[in-house]
Structure 1
Amino acid sequence: MTLISIGFVFLAEIALALDNGLATTPQMGWNDWNAFGCNVSEDLVLKTSSYMSQYGLLAAGYEYVNVDDCWSTSRDPTNNTILVDYSKFPHGMAYVADQLHASGFRFGMYSDAGNKTCGGYPGSLGYEDVDAFTFANWGVDYLKYDNCNNDGIAGSQSISSASPGPSAQAGGYQCSVANIINQLAPIASYGSSGGWNNLDMLEVGNGQMSDAGYMTHFSMWSVLKSPLIIGTDVLSLSTSDFSILVNPAIIAVNQDPLGISAQLRWNTSNTQLWSGPLSPTGNSTTTLDMVVALVNIGNSTTDIEASMSDIFAGQTPGASNWAMNNLWGARLNDTQAQSIMSDGAAAHTDWIYNATEVPYATGLAQKEPLLLGTGSPLLSSQAQKRSPKFVKMQPARVAAAAIFFCLSLCHGVPHQKQSSDYISSCGDNWMARDDVSTNNGEIPRRGYLSAVAEFCQEANGQTVQAGSYLSLATRVFLDGGGDPSSNGIPGYVYFEVNNKQSSDSHTVNADNCTSYLQELSNDNSKCWGSEHSDTKGGTWQVGADAISYHALGQSVPPAQDAVDKLFTNGALSVLGGSDGAALSPFPLNFTSDVIPLPCHSHNDYTRNVPLYDALSAGCTSVEADVWLHSNTLRVSHTDPGDSGPTIQDLYIDPLVALLDAQNPDSGSSKGVYPQNSTQSLVLLVDFKSDGDSTWDAVFSSLQPLRDAGYLSHWDGSQFVSAPITVVTSGNAPLSKAANGSANPSQDMFMDSRVDESLDGFNTSNTYYASADFESAITSSGSAPLSSSNQQKLSDQVSAAHVKGFLARYWDIPSSDLWQELVDSGVDKLNVDDLDAVASVDFHISS
């Protein structure tokens, strides 16, 4: 199955237009958030603008350079002016605005209608006038105004100095392209000059889709008149992605002066027709062009049939014959794109459209060939057109590409911890039991019983060995207890056949499987019960031998944002040390909107799914207590003997799968958190068994990560960071870490003591300097620390940093101290309560 997995903020509200001459066409520009998260800086912004100018992106119309969240620190206590983080913007925002204006760009910034931004920085609630004055003084031309943490206050203040882009963003949804355009369908007609429907930043270039997927994504944002805001790292833009972003024929549809969004004309199970009027470029000055998008949202190539009556929504076409143009027909090839990127756009004016010299409206009126795509034979108004792609008609200028459909669970806003609560949702209270047809043109919503049929057919005939399980996650609609025709979100249901017998195997029979799981939907006492380690809330027992059929859905309370916790290949189902096999992999995009935080997930052995619980909370360090038995590394705090989950199952294999998904291109080395792709995740392996033999076993177990280039290492002269940094503790011997034969790759590091002598430890063999906070500093949980304890903490942290180590503390007596410790330079805080992590406004810069 070809998947599209993208992270967008989508506001399913009617855009309210202001008639003030601003945003007469959808805004175009660049925003740092999707690619860099909180790692924004003056250097990044100005360097990006330089590349945008060189590549011709400014000439193509991408005039806004927008700074997103995480640029501030606090407010001035005397006048409440918001303060810039000068470590990121050393010359201040007015300087950045001046530099951008001098280069021909407009400057955009970010704020929030709440008391804090989505990332936990100062918001504008109560300070709207102060911030508006500040932004105006800095020379800000555009404001992205988010709506996190608004204390329940409806609406948002209007900042008069900002362009009226999206005035409030619902924050953090992780949805497919198809889901987003389906959600827009009922309100597409409300977007207009001064108030465009905003689908949020473009994902072109962020490594989550095929080329055809990116073409479709860009095409649909254009025909739906969404602002086109680039959301990738322009400095590392590929030639194919560049050629999509500068396609003048697609941009011209978006910037068409008529400003009318395409409408959904029909929607079958896997295909859609969108069409809408454009300014006339044909032989008549009064007959409007039509943009036509035939969209395949299925998993395979298909023919799509659409009549002229369909395209014109039952209205009489204004002409009997129409020229048909393919808007992707003249796309730059890789050689052309590379020449532009290397030589500069000014050297290739015949290949790239310069909207700063001839605006799109003028170019369309002059029938500029670059804006019209490539033509094809005339199409009669009586004809039917079949195509597996978008077709484009001229006057009906059409965008061409195909959508490969994927449903991804939604996220809450960045920095909000994903819920760890899992309750069964097969009953009518939470999950739509039957498929739901809607009247607004959306894809029919898939109910629980359809998902049961899929699972049982796929599992039919499969043998589940004793002590093992078989599982599948598949899409389903979660209605939150409301009317499913108007409430709810797409979600997943997790099915499992678990054989807890001691010796006998179990073969799945489709009819019996269907009967068991359908019974769950008829009896809430079975599927709505309290969560249990065996049943996970819903089970059907077969006989007396404890073969259970589980159905577990995501809980989506109707008053809260959706939550997403998806796992790889049955990682959820490590029950009682059993091994298992998944029928199909789970989506691997659950970290997309998670902000990495300076926490170390301690006591991982107590968690249902330790790695994923930790990553969902944003922790940048995780822990595995390991015992070596029969050449197998078992994860447990106490000696498990020859049973129990392995480090391979709980950590190594899921990390490889997760990182492979983040790095589809050969040679890339992005970490587990897209919001900060350079952040290395520490895997701390606490040796509980004999040090020497355990060392060798751990070294061998890391080979899949090592082979993929995912391990940080010492290259003989310096530390080279990679997505995973392995740190050893407990019985791990320093002699092994410093021994070239025992650690030939030099990719296993030590955990030293921050409160003891660091002699003998150096950056070639050590990464952490750690201590028990209660012993090293104080057992008092009161904040702030006393001056003497502050000094003690400062001395220890400084000693670690001088050596090049990260300072880490465990047994911190109270979460009240967390922020103070981070502000004092502590790099990692051991946390047992992952739910509490979300309540602390951590800010980390790397």
Structure 2
Amino acid sequence: MIKQQLPPMGWNSYCTVNCDPTEELILEHANLMASNGLRDAGYVYVNIDDGWMEQERDKSGKLVTRADRFPHGMKYLTDKIHSLGMKAGIYLGCGVTTWHEDAGSLGYEFEDAKTIAEMGFDYLKYDRHPKEGDPVRDTIEEYVKMGVALENCGRDIVYNLCEHGTTKPWLWAYGVGQLWRTGFDVRDIWDGANGLMTIVDKINQPISAYAGVSHYNDPDMLVVGMHCQNDWMGAGCSDLEYRSIFALWCMMAAPLLIGLDIRRMDHTAKSILTNKHLIAVNQDTLCMQGRVVRSIEGKFDIWVKPLSNVRWAVGLFNRATDATAISFTAEDLGMTKNIKGSLLDVWTEKTYDLEGEFSTVVEGHEMKTYIFEPKF
């Protein structure tokens, strides 16, 4: 059986509360997602990040849930999430401790996999945490070991190998897990060393060939709608830039895990996150990651993602700050200029003809996205 055939969609607690998740917060978000249309749009995972367990294990060596934050225990929480028609995700630290300095899973992989299975979780983010004074570490061995533990835990659990791209997991992790982080933690910043464009250009786009059914390059969480939601995530982006980021994540067949505090989600953010055409691009059964087929550095990129049923997604991405005209033909899709067809604008739902060359004005930092379908 193939686990998680399509890129997972859901929400993660980290960008909202850092390492301070609580039962109340998680259930509030699960209920909001079930009632505001996010669940029905495909966002079904409700994922708890670091900070849920104690620093010490119990006498038998098992992880201990923090009773002050999760007074009813984890099985109660996962049962509540499942009753909403959703799935529950959890965090473990690949190290002696987690980043929050709580009990790590290094050396306890089989015990901890069984524990989260008994708790009822459906998804694991396994986060690499190197620490001064560590024993000699073999990251690949550690992540493979957890993969084996999950296969033998008695429950189907989707495995996110969050080792931050340190061992190039896209080269070896196909049969180990379903998704792998490709680089550093995302920040709500358009450009710069830790910016969103660096993740796209330097990390995720160059490894597009390694994505496919049940194995995805994970650029980290979606920052759509955050608008500087806290002081450590970054200065924020414009709504137009968030729209482009969502289109890029969808074109890259990336996991769509919302980082926004859903309690403060506005209408614009919701309209972006629930765009049915882009979600369909992301969830297309070919599971191919889009790539840049033509580019003028600093000016624009043309992205193409093959889709099922003889269709292609085409993204016209203006990297500059000023509006510019971008043109393409069927040759950019790997075909010939003679092929004609229709173009569906995923945002406006207007349809255009592609006969030879198609040209349109694209605003600064905007990505216009179309679905191309040949017509004969």
TM-score (norm 1): 0.37
Q: Which residue of 1 aligns with 2:262?
A: 234
Q: Secondary structure at the match of 1:72?
A: coil
> Is 2:294 the partner of 1:266?
yes
**What's the RMSD between the two structures over aligned residues?**
1.9
Q: Tell whether the 8 Å contact from 2:57 to 2:103 is kept in structure 1 after alignment.
A: no
Residues 275-294 of structure 1: matches in 2 within 5 Å? Answer: 275-280=304-309, 288-294=310-316
Q: State the shift of 1:201 in Å.
A: 0.9
CA 1:392–1:38: 2 relative to 1, 3 Å:
closer
Q: Tell whether the 8 Å contact from 2:78 to 2:120 is kept in structure 1 after alignment.
A: yes
Q: Tell whether the 8 Å contact from 2:212 to 2:286 is kept in structure 1 after alignment.
A: no
Q: Secondary structure at the match of 1:252?
A: helix
Amino acid of the structure 2 residue aligned with 1:266: R
Q: State the shift of 1:179 in Å.
A: 1.2
Residues 274-673 of structure 1: matches in 2 within 5 Å? Answer: 274-280=303-309, 288-310=310-332, 312-313=333-334, 315-316=335-336, 320-329=339-348, 374-380=349-355, 382-388=356-362, 389-395=366-372
- Cα deviation, 1:42-77, whole Å, max 9, x if unaligned, reads 000001111111101111111100000010113434
2:104 to 102, 111, 123: 123
1:243 to 259, 271, 280: 271
Q: Tell whether the 8 Å contact from 1:264 to 1:274 is kept in structure 2 after alignment.
A: yes
Q: State the shift of 1:35 in Å.
A: 1.5
Q: Which residue of 2 aligns with 1:647?
A: none
Q: State the shift of 1:184 in Å.
A: 1.3
Q: Which residue of 1 aligns with 2:51?
A: 70
Q: Which residue of 2 aligns with 1:513?
A: none
Q: State the shift of 1:117 in Å.
A: 1.4
Q: 2:50 and 2:369 mapped to 1: Cα distance?
A: 38
1:190 to 210, 217, 229: 210
- Cα deviation, 1:581-612, whole Å, max 9, x if unaligned, reads xxxxxxxxxxxxxxxxxxxxxxxxxxxxxxxx
Q: 2:270 and 2:358 mapped to 1: Cα distance?
A: 34
1:111 to 88, 92, 95: 92
Residues 641-720 of structure 1: matches in 2 within 5 Å? Answer: none
Query: Over alpha carbons, which structure has the higher Rg?
Result: 1
Amino acid of the structure 1 residue aligned with 2:216: W
Q: Tell whether the 8 Å contact from 2:55 to 2:101 is kept in structure 1 after alignment.
A: no
Q: Tell whether the 8 Å contact from 1:291 to 1:396 is kept in structure 2 after alignment.
A: no
Q: Which residue of 2 aligns with 1:39?
A: 20
Identity across the alignment (%): 30
Q: 1:59 and 1:97 mapped to 2: Cα distance?
A: 19
1:60 to 41, 44, 50: 41
Q: 2:109 and 2:211 mapped to 1: Cα distance?
A: 26
Q: Tell whether the 8 Å contact from 1:97 to 1:139 is kept in structure 2 after alignment.
A: yes
How many residues get paired?
A: 323
> Is 2:78 the partner of 1:97?
yes
Q: 1:165 and 1:215 mapped to 2: Cα distance?
A: 25
Q: Secondary structure at the match of 1:202?
A: coil
CA 1:395–1:173: 2 relative to 1, 3 Å:
closer
> Is 2:191 the partner of 1:172?
no
Q: Tell whether the 8 Å contact from 1:27 to 1:165 is kept in structure 2 after alignment.
A: no
CA 1:224–1:116: 2 relative to 1, 3 Å:
same
Q: 2:110 and 2:241 mapped to 1: Cα distance?
A: 42
Q: 1:396 and 1:213 mapped to 2: Cα distance?
A: 27
Q: State the shift of 1:114 in Å.
A: 1.2
Q: Which residue of 1 aligns with 2:173?
A: none
Q: Tell whether the 8 Å contact from 1:82 to 1:122 is kept in structure 2 after alignment.
A: yes
- Cα deviation, 1:430-450, whole Å, max 9, x if unaligned, reads xxxxxxxxxxxxxxxxxxxxx
Q: Which residue of 2 aligns with 1:593?
A: none
Residues 712-751 of structure 1: matches in 2 within 5 Å? Answer: none
> Is 2:31 the partner of 1:50?
yes
> Is 2:138 the partner of 1:153?
yes
Q: Secondary structure at the match of 1:87?
A: coil
CA 1:384–1:94: 2 relative to 1, 3 Å:
same
Amino acid of the structure 2 residue aligned with 1:189: A
Q: 2:274 and 2:186 mapped to 1: Cα distance?
A: 27
Q: Secondary structure at the match of 1:243?
A: helix
Q: Which residue of 2 aligns with 1:649?
A: none
Q: 1:391 and 1:229 mapped to 2: Cα distance?
A: 22
Amino acid of the structure 2 residue aligned with 1:112: G
Q: Which residue of 2 aligns with 1:778?
A: none
Q: 1:164 and 1:153 mapped to 2: Cα distance?
A: 19
- Cα deviation, 1:87-132, whole Å, max 9, x if unaligned, reads 0000111110011111111000011211111222221110000000
Q: State the shift of 1:173 in Å.
A: 5.5
Q: Secondary structure at the match of 2:116?
A: helix
CA 1:396–1:123: 2 relative to 1, 3 Å:
farther
Q: Which residue of 1 aligns with 2:239?
A: 211
Q: Tell whether the 8 Å contact from 1:146 to 1:171 is kept in structure 2 after alignment.
A: no
Q: 1:124 and 1:277 mapped to 2: Cα distance?
A: 39
Q: Which residue of 1 aligns with 2:230?
A: none
Q: Tell whether the 8 Å contact from 1:304 to 1:385 is kept in structure 2 after alignment.
A: yes
Structure 2: unaligned runs, 5 residues or longer: 165-182, 188-193, 228-235
Q: 1:300 and 1:220 mapped to 2: Cα distance?
A: 19
Q: State the shift of 1:377 in Å.
A: 2.8
Q: Tell whether the 8 Å contact from 2:126 to 2:159 is kept in structure 1 after alignment.
A: no
Q: State the shift of 1:254 in Å.
A: 0.5
Q: Which residue of 1 aligns with 2:172?
A: none
Q: 1:193 and 1:166 mapped to 2: Cα distance?
A: 16
Q: 1:392 and 1:77 mapped to 2: Cα distance?
A: 53
Q: 2:209 and 2:47 mapped to 1: Cα distance?
A: 27
TM-score (norm 2): 0.81
Q: Secondary structure at the match of 2:160?
A: coil
Structure 1: unaligned runs, 5 residues or longer: 1-19, 281-287, 330-373, 398-846
Amino acid of the structure 2 residue aligned with 1:51: L
- Cα deviation, 1:3-47, whole Å, max 9, x if unaligned, reads xxxxxxxxxxxxxxxxx4111110000101012102210000001
Amino acid of the structure 1 residue aligned with 2:318: N
Q: 2:186 and 2:336 mapped to 1: Cα distance?
A: 40
